[in-house]
Structure formats: structure tokens, C-alpha cells
């Protein structure tokens, strides 16, 4: 029931998507900065973060890297996880899939390292090809990729009680995800245009609109995101999280 509820809430409004349609690429990204519900995603690359300053700047949510593959824990995860909550941000943990590792091992690693926090956002599975990886640059078949994805998604949902969110980029979506996992919410990377221009027919809950953003409280660049909904939609998400405690 909990997983179904958060999915329904997050898709509650098409107002933001509608406002961005028929806008030129650079205008879409500029407009994204003015959307009401702003967020970031971070890992240890951002170093020490002043989360209270981030929240004071208007950022309302953060996706925080937790795990990668079957044996890597982001060294800043727990620090960011607890500090973001203390600062008043809604936050969720994400797992970066590694195609050269068994899905069952990756699922177990996520479960082992990510707290089962009732008031957290749904977990995220980060799906993309690793063409620049030194240890696992190759692609696998679509069939095998889908099997691995499903195993990890199921384990995430069982652990957290919430239907996971799928993060992806245009290349991986085209190769593997097109037409798949329709009951899941998507967090889409699109740095050149509004997602509807790139991911035809795919509904989305979150949009990563730049990887070179700036936010007070973070030194250097940080990924910027928006939630695809109105402030009242977001309030419903927060009330749902509050009720889950």
C-alpha cells in the first residue's frame, strides 16, 4: 500500500511538464531553475556539504549516493544521509548498478548499507551504461539487463516498503527501458531539453536538468533537479512521508 501511495502522489500534476513544452532547449533549462520544487543529487564528489545552507537556499530534496555494485559504499553516504534530514530536506538513497556483478549481490549490498528509514523518499536505482569504466565498460543484452534490474528493484521495495524510482539517461532508456517498467516513477537526465522532447511517451517525476549547477553550501558543481508537480503535490508527498514514521 505504501509503495502504491507514493507513486500516485508523485504523478499528481502535469502543470510543470505542460509549462515546459514547446520551449527551446536552453530556455527549458533556464525555466527549470524557476520551477517550484528544486532538488540536488550528491555523492562524495561534493565533499563536505553545509546542508543547512543548502536548505536555506531553497533546495527541498536530495538524492544521495549510497552504494555501487556489490562492495562499494559511498564514503559520505551516512554523513550526508543524517545531515540532510537534520537540515529539513526530504532525501532518498540511490544505488549505482554495476553490470559485471550479480544482481543478487548488489541488492544485498544495498539492503545491508541503507537504513530502513520510514520518512525517506523512495530509493532510486541508477541505470546507465558505463562506457568509460576501466573494469566494466561493455554492454550486456537487453534481456539480461532487464532481469538484473527487476531483481534489484524488488529487493529495494521489500527493504524500504516503497516502490523505487528509476534514474536513467537517454542512451540507456533507448537501448533497454523503452516501454518497460511502466508502474515505476522515473527520474530522467536531460541536460539539453525538457524530458518530453527526449523520452517520448515516458511520464516522469523528477528531471535532472544540469550536471554543472551551483548551490550555496556546496563547493564546486552539483547536479540540479526538479520535481514534476506543484507545491501542493509536494506537500502531499511530505505529509505521506510524515505519516509513514
Question: Which among 178, 208, 177 is positioned nearest to 192, based on CA atoms?
Answer: 208
Average pLDDT for 167-183: 97
At 217, phi and psi to the nearest 5? 100, -10
Question: Which among 3, 1, 50 is positioned nearest to 156, based on CA atoms?
Answer: 3
Q: Which of 6-10, 34-38, 86-90, 100-104 has the lowest mean pLDDT?
A: 6-10
* Beta-ladder partners of 188: 168, 207
For residue 10, what pLDDT is reported?
A: 45
Q: Which of 152-156, 189-193, 225-229 has the lowest mean pLDDT?
A: 189-193
Pair 78, 113: CB distance under 8 Å = no
Residue 30: pLDDT band with limits 50, 70, 90: confident
Tell me the pLDDT tens digit for each residue of 126-158: 999 999 999 999 999 999 999 999 999 999 999
Pair 210, 191: CB distance under 8 Å = yes
Higher pLDDT, 123 or 31: 123
Mean pLDDT rounded to a whole number for the chain: 91
The domains of the chain, with CATH numbers, are 2-244 (3.20.20.80)
The packing angle between helices 231-244 and 2-10, to 10°, is: 170
Average pLDDT for 63-84: 98
- Residues annotated as catalytic are 41, 128
- C-alpha cell recorded at residue 73: 559504499
For residue 5, what pLDDT is reported?
A: 40
Q: Above 50 in pLDDT, residue 86?
A: yes
Report the share of the chain in percent with pLDDT over 90.
83
Amino acid at each position: 500500500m505504501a509503495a502504491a501511495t507514493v507513486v500516485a502522489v508523485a504523478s499528481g500534476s502535469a502543470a510543470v511538464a505542460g509549462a515546459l513544452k514547446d520551449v527551446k532547449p536552453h530556455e527549458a533549462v533556464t525555466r527549470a531553475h524557476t520551477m517550484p520544487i528544486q532538488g540536488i543529487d550528491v555523492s562524495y564528489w561534493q565533499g563536505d556539504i553545509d546542508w543547512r545552507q543548502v536548505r536555506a537556499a531553497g533546495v527541498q530534496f536530495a538524492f544521495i549516493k549510497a552504494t555501487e555494485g556489490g562492495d562499494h559504499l559511498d564514503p559520505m553516504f551516512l554523513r550526508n544521509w543524517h545531515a540532510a534530514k537534520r537540515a529539513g530536506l526530504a532525501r532518498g538513497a540511490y544505488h549505482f548498478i554495476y553490470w559485471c556483478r550479480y544482481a543478487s549481490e548488489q541488492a544485498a549490498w544495498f539492503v545491508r548499507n541503507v537504513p530502513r528509514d520510514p520518512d525517506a523518499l523512495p530509493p532510486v536505482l541508477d541505470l546507465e551504461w558505463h562506457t568509460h569504466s576501466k573494469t566494466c565498460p561493455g554492454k550486456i543484452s537487453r534481456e539480461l539487463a532487464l532481469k538484473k534490474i527487476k531483481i534489484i528493484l524488488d529487493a529495494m521495495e521489500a527493504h524500504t516498503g516503497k516502490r523505487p524510482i528509476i534514474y536513467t539517461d537517454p542512451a540507456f532508456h533507448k537501448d533497454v527501458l523503452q516501454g518497460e517498467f511502466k508502474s515505476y516513477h522515473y527520474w530522467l537526465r536531460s541536460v539539453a531539453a525538457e524530458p518530453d522532447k527526449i523520452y517520448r511517451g515516458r511520464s516522469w517525476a523528477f528531471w535532472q536538468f544540469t550536471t554543472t549547477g551551483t548551490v550555496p553550501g556546496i563547493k564546486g558543481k552539483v547536479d540540479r533537479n526538479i520535481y514534476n508537480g506543484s507545491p501542493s503535490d509536494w506537500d502531499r508527498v511530505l505529509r505521506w512521508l510524515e505519516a509513514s514514521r
